[in-house]
């Protein structure tokens, strides 16, 4: 059966062609004095059904008769404008989270969107409208990093909903800008909603999750990025959630996203996810059924080709043209808000010069961010910082002199990048001899240069061994970025230990008797139990971006005092984890993990010491719906300046249903000079005191709540004693149980 077209709603090409050229300038959609809604309605009314459907594919063709240019909606900026040539490369997203600094992340996102705008307009001037040149960016990734085996966890802001929420909002706002009329770029938080591996199963996997875990763990970051961050776009996930394909889920896309949260932007599928609906999920039998199901549920844009079947779907009565109109209006509303149908002189962001790309200011920001992301995990007897005047240093390890490993995935191309080896050589005295040996490979058990590494360590004052992971070990399914030509990432990990021969390399260097400093470059937690017992110091640097080597050297030699904190739990063993495919949160992350970790969430050391005092919680008794004000004094009692990350955790002591052991509900990174004091204040809202009750409602229950404030969470684990003091105080919610939004 041939598809039917509603000629009364969509004029034919021939009809449109009869309009005189002189009238084109008077068309409503070209009139910038009209509202965007009127302009979009006018433009859509002039399109044929075929033309409208063509605009629902990520690589949308031009509609020349309407002066609609070709546009590819696919662009990436996870930690810098990606895959589009030279750009500033900031630390990977997990490193951004380790800064615990939302103001800094907003500055990073602002720099990224500056470069994005500059690159886009330069491409347009050259007539280039291909992939990775548009203004619609599929970032940030705000999935919860619930299991360290997930290869894409490096792209997230860690395991905690509150930390992820605050950093996500800062990133979204930095990308989209603050102009009252125009968007700077479009941010697209992803992957909505219950998605964090396994990578190999994502095209057919059904993530089963209860209402409490859904509402308390998997959804909060998306909710605030929509409601507070005003994200214009959301990307759906590949998998199913409780039986529904995420990109065709009425529950997620309509009931929650639009009806509950008031989202009025557009939804884009992950690439190929609409095809998965009938190919691998087998929820639909044909492409047209899958396309109709997804578009009908509210997925407006298909990264892929399956929406090409919508013409057949309309003809078969599977979907109405009104649904097509709804989707295309959402898409063109975003394009009009980006100023793509207005004169560049009207759009302030179109004036950003191309030379802002890869500028010195952004390179300095990348360095600052890399410095702030570094976490000092161990520093036995204040072994660090090192003396720049050491006679000799052995720099060893597979990650010591590899530019590619600095960049993580979804990255741009830096015009220059500093490896740890180069950073160390630049930082030490000219008289210091710096020796280098790779020692072993990142993943293979090849040990040909063990002998060289051991000999260099024997004749050196210090051995700095730089190990960890790479995109070979962790990444997206089928990822070829960051690996040798012809190869792809293994995706998820099965073990948390150092891979290959790296552990043996550490042991061989330690056996020489030379003091050992371990630097980790990786995107997820590594079980470095042996190193924690034997090395003098351990530094976590993540995938630190183009200035990573400089930042690492600055920390090692004391030019920068590390203040980063872990955004994930470092477990002792994979044996401590539930099955990877189990999406229940019990036993996962610091909020529900009852065993002893290697390094807890929120952990990080400093070269100075901080003291907490005068914790006040006011009032001590509140009615449901009232706020609680908290203040604490923090003093730097050490001998040098440094940053402290003040963390507030809340425990519902008297909950009637299962709740987290504790959960982060406030944080602030503050710089303090030696001897300086500062009063830090937080406000706890009723929403932060709420829980999901047995009926699935969000309520505030009467009872006792415990507040803990300090430089760490109150784990009770011995490793933090003497490094931090955590103060606790309680308050009471009195009255009747009350429902909250």
Question: Is 342 marked active-site?
Answer: no
Residues 373, 265 within the same domain: no
Average pLDDT over residues 494-507: 95
Q: Which tokens in the block code for residue 557?
A: 């030699």
Distance separating alpha carbons of residues 493 and 197, to the nearest angstrom: 11
Set 155, 159, 239, 270: catalytic member: 270
**Which CATH number does the domain housing residue 385 bear?**
3.40.50.1700
Same domain? For 469 and 521 the reply is yes
Mean pLDDT of the chain: 95
Indicate whether 260 pLDDT > 90: yes
3-state secondary structure at position 723: coil
Please state, for a pLDDT cut of 70, what percent of the chain lies above it: 95
Report percent pLDDT > 90 for the chain: 92
Could you give the CA distance from residue 347 to residue 174 in angstroms, rounded to a whole number? 17
Query: Which residues 6+ apart lie within 8 Å of 675 measured at CB?
Result: 635, 636, 637
**Are residues 167 and 313 located together in one domain of the fold?**
yes
Q: Is residue 444 part of a domain?
A: yes
Considering the domain architecture, whether residues 288 and 379 belong to the same structural domain is answered as: no
Domain boundary among 356, 374, 404: 356
- Report the alpha-carbon distance of residue 177 to residue 164 in Å, rounded: 20
Tens digits of residue pLDDT in 388-400: 999 999 999 999 9
Q: What is the pLDDT of residue 508?
A: 96
pLDDT at 567 over 70: yes
Q: Tell me, what's the pLDDT at 448? A: 66
Does one domain contain both 295 and 379?
no
Is the same domain home to 137 and 212?
yes
- Is residue 731 domain-resident? yes
Q: What three-state secondary structure class fits 248?
A: helix
Is residue 270 among the annotated active site residues?
yes
Quickly state the pLDDT bin for 21 (edges 50, 70, 90). very low
pLDDT for res 16: 43
615 or 18, which is more confident: 615
* Residue 376 and residue 503 share a domain: yes
Please determine, for residue 718, whether its predicted confidence score (pLDDT) is greater than 60: no
Choosing from 356, 383, 415, the residue where a domain stops is: 356
Whether residue 58 lies inside any domain: the answer is: no
Give the pairing of strands 537-540 and 375-379.
antiparallel
Task: Output the domain CATH number for residue 196.
Answer: 3.20.20.300
Q: Which of 586, 621, 651 is where one domain is finished?
A: 586
**Are 156 and 199 found together in one domain?**
yes
Average of per-residue pLDDT across 206-231: 98
In this structure, is residue 47 part of a structural domain? no
Q: What confidence tens digit (pLDDT) does each residue in 438-447 have?
A: 999 998 766 6
Buried b (16+ CB within 10 A) or exposed e, 591-626: bbbeeebbbbbbbbbbbbbbebeebebeeeebebeb
As given in the structure block, the two tokens for residue 680 are 């830090």
Domains of the chain: total: 3
pLDDT at residue 443 in the model = 84
**Is residue 133 a part of any domain in this protein?**
yes
641 plus 566 within the same structural domain: no
> Do both 254 and 188 map to the same domain?
yes
- Range 359-367 average pLDDT: 98
Written as one string, the DSSP assignment of 598-667 is: SB-TT--B-SS-EEEEEEEEE-SEE-TT--EEEEEEEEE-SSS-EEEEEEEEEEETT-SS---S-EEEEE
pLDDT surpasses 60 at 705: yes
Instruction: State the SS3 of 473-506.
Output: CCCCCCCCCCCCCCCCCCCCCCCCCCCCCHHHHH
Q: Which of the following is catalytic: 213, 372, 477, 547? A: 477
Q: 437 lies in a domain?
A: yes
Per-residue pLDDT at 351 exceeds 80: yes
Range of the structural domain that residue 467 is part of: 366-586
The pLDDT tens digits for 43-88 are 999 999 999 999 999 999 999 999 999 999 999 999 999 999 999 9
* Cβ pair 246, 219 in contact under 8 A: no
Flag whether 326 is in a domain: no
Q: Do 475 and 616 reside in the same domain of the chain?
A: no
pLDDT at 716: 62
Mean pLDDT (whole number) for 334-348 = 97
Q: Is residue 189 part of a domain?
A: yes
Q: Are residues 582 and 615 in the same domain?
A: no
In the prediction, which pLDDT does 24 show?
53
């Amino acid at each position: 059966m041939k598809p039917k077209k509603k000629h009364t709603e969509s004029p034919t090409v021939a009809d449109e062609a009869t309009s005189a050229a002189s009238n084109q300038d008077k068309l409503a959609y070209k009139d910038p004095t009209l509202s965007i809604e009127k302009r979009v309605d006018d433009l859509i009314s002039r399109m044929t059904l075929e033309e409208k459907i063509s605009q629902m594919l990520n690589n949308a063709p031009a509609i020349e008769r309407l002066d609609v240019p070709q546009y590819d909606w696919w662009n990436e900026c996870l930690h810098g404008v990606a895959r589009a040539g030279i750009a500033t490369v900031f630390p990977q997203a997990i490193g951004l989270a380790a800064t615990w600094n939302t103001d800094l992340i907003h500055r990073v996102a602002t720099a990224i969107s500056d470069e994005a705008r500059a690159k886009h307009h330069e491409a347009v001037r050259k007539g280039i409208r291909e992939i990775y040149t548009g203004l619609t960016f599929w970032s940030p990734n705000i999935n919860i990093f619930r299991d360290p085996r997930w290869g894409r966890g490096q792209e997230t802001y860690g395991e905690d909903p509150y930390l992820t929420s605050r950093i996500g909002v800062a990133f979204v706002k930095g990308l989209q800008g603050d102009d009252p009329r125009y968007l700077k770029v479009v941010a697209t938080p992803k992957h909505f909603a219950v998605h964090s591996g396994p990578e190999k199963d994502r095209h057919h996997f059904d993530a089963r999750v209860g209402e409490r875990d859904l509402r308390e763990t998997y959804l909060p970051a998306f909710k605030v990025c929509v409601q507070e961050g005003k994200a214009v776009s959301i990307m759906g996930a590949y998998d199913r959630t409780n039986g529904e394909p995420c990109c065709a889920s009425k529950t997620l896309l309509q009931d929650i996203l639009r009806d509950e949260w008031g989202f009025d932007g557009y939804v884009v599928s992950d690439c190929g996810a609409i095809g998965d609906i009938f190919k691998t999920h087998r929820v639909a039998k044909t492409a047209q059924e899958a396309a109709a199901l997804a578009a009908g549920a509210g997925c407006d844009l298909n990264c892929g080709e399956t929406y090409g079947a919508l013409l057949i779907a309309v003809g078969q009565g599977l979907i109405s043209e009104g649904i097509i109109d709804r989707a295309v209006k959402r898409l063109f509303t975003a394009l009009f808000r980006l100023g793509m149908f207005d004169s560049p002189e009207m759009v302030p962001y179109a004036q950003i010069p191309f030379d802002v790309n890869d500028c010195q200011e952004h390179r300095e920001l990348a360095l600052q961010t890399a410095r702030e992301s570094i976490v000092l995990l161990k520093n036995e007897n204040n072994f660090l910082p090192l003396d720049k005047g050491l006679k000799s240093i052995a720099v060893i390890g597979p990650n010591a002199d590899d530019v590619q490993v600095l960049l993580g995935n979804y990255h741009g191309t830096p015009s220059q990048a500093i490896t740890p080896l180069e950073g160390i050589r630049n930082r030490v005295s000219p008289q210091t001899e710096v020796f280098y040996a790779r020692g072993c490979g990142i993943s293979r058990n090849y040990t040909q240069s063990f002998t060289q590494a051991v000999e260099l360590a024997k004749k050196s004052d210090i051995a700095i061994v730089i190990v960890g992971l790479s995109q070979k070990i962790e990444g997206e399914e089928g990822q070829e970025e960051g690996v040798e030509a012809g190869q792809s990432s293994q995706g998820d990990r099965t073990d948390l230990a150092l891979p290959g021969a790296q552990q043996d390399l550490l042991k061989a260097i330690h056996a020489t008797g030379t003091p050992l400093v371990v630097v980790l470059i990786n995107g997820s937690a590594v079980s470095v139990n042996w190193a924690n017992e034997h090395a003098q110091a351990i530094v976590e640097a993540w995938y630190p971006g183009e200035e990573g080597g400089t930042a690492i050297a600055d920390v090692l030699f004391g030019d920068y005092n590390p203040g980063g904190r872990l955004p994930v739990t470092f477990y002792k063993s994979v044996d401590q984890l539930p099955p990877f495919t189990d999406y229940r949160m019990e036993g996962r992350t610091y909020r529900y993990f009852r065993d002893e970790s290697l390094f807890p969430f929120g952990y990080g050391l400093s070269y100075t010491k901080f003291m907490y005092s005068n914790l006040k919680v006011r009032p001590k008794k509140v009615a449901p719906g009232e706020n609680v004000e908290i203040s604490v004094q923090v003093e730097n009692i050490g001998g040098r300046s440094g940053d402290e990350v003040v963390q507030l955790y809340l425990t519902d002591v008297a909950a009637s249903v299962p709740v987290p052991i504790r959960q982060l509900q406030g944080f602030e990174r503050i710089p303090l000079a030696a001897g300086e004091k500062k009063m830090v204040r937080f406000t706890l809202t009723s929403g932060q005191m709420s829980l999901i009750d047995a009926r699935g409602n969000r309520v505030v229950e009467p009872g006792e709540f415990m507040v803990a404030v300090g430089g760490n969470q109150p784990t009770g684990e011995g490793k933090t004693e003497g490094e931090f003091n955590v103060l606790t105080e309680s308050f009471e919610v009195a009255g009747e149980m009350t429902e909250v939004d």
